[in-house]
């Protein structure tokens, strides 16, 4: 049984090989890039606009609102990173309705790469927001004793991000493959519908968690000075 699209080899030449993960990732990148290029070719600010522009506007404003809800002050700055993460993972799991396709996020290499992006992005945005010293100081909050634990948590949450997404995607395809051998026709359809839901939730979770980590890194000690938000808001 195939555990991940890594084992699905399309082309091999000596050391180089083209496996399913790479091919499907490239296809998704192509779809996302070409799709947004095509839609944004002629944008209009009138009331008259193309349905595709409407769709993209809904997606972008929706993501922006979610990022703002997480607690990031100006979502415009982070939407490039967080929005891309969300769109890529969401499209990767949505495309499972296409026969013969396997989500590239079902391979640990892809999810590890995405989680490493988050690992790098968190200090990047944190240093940009509060300077190198301010950011490094946030590791010693609340006391200096917590320094090793903060560093461990930084690493372990990266691992958790990667394994969570991988496990969810892999279990989806795995369960469908197992069910196909036991109860061939009807039950796998229901499970793949459930897989679509899980995929969307995981895409949401991944980008929201990345947003939460970035928010925690950029906020720093400034939040202490601010008045507390009323609970009913």
Partner 1 sequence: MDSVTIIAVASIVTAGLTIALGSIGPALGEGRAVATALSALAQQPDAASTITRTLFVGLAMIESIAIYCFVVSMILLFANPFWNHVIAQTAGK
| Of the candidate residues 71, 123, 167, 220, the single one contacting partner 1 (CB under 8 A) | 167
Give the Cα separation of 115 and 202 in Å (integer): 13
Task: Determine contact, residues 32/88, Cβ cutoff 8 Å.
Answer: yes
Q: Is 202 in the site for partner 1 (CB under 8 A)?
A: yes
Q: Is 214 in the site for partner 1 (CB under 8 A)?
A: no
Please give the backbone phi and psi of residue 18, each rounded to the nearest 5 degrees, phi first.
Answer: -115, 105
**Region 123-142 residues binding partner 1, contact defined as CB under 8 A:** none
What Rg value do the Cα atoms of the chain yield, rounded? 21
* Binding characters for partner 1, 91-110, by CB under 8 A (x = yes): --------------------
Q: Is the peptide bond before 142 cis (omega within 30 degrees of 0)?
A: yes
| Of the candidate residues 40, 171, 183, 223, the single one contacting partner 1 (CB under 8 A) | 171
Q: Is 209 in the site for partner 1 (CB under 8 A)?
A: yes
Q: Is 166 in the site for partner 1 (CB under 8 A)?
A: yes
Q: Which long-range contacts (CB under 8 A, 24 or more apart) does 52-61 make?
A: 59/87
Residues that bind partner 1 (CB under 8 A): 1, 3, 69, 160, 163-164, 166-168, 170-171, 174, 201-202, 204-205, 208-209
């Amino acid at each position: 049984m195939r555990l991940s699209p890594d084992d699905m080899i399309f082309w091999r030449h000596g050391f180089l090989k083209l496996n399913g993960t790479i091919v499907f990732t490239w296809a998704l990148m192509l779809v996302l890039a070409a799709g947004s290029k095509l839609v944004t070719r002629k944008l209009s600010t009138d009331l008259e606009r193309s349905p595709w522009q409407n769709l993209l506007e809904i997606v972008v404003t929706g993501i922006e609102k979610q990022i703002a809800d997480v607690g990031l002050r100006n979502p415009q700055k982070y939407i490039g990173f967080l929005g891309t993460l969300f769109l890529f993972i969401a499209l990767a799991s949505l495309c499972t309705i296409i026969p013969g396709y396997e989500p590239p996020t079902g391979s640990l290499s892809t999810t590890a790469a995405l989680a490493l992006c988050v690992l790098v992005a968190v200090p990047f945005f944190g240093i940009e927001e509060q300077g190198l010293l301010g950011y490094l100081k946030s590791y010693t909050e609340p006391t200096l004793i917590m320094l090793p634990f903060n560093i461990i948590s930084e690493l372990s949450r990266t691992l958790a991000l990667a394994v969570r997404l991988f496990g969810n995607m892999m279990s989806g395809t795995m369960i469908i493959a197992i069910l196909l051998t036991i109860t061939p026709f009807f039950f796998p359809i229901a499970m793949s519908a459930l897989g679509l839901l899980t995929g969307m939730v995981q895409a949401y979770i991944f980008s929201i968690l990345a947003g939460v980590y970035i928010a925690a890194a950029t906020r720093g000690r400034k939040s202490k000075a601010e008045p507390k938000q009323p609970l009913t808001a």
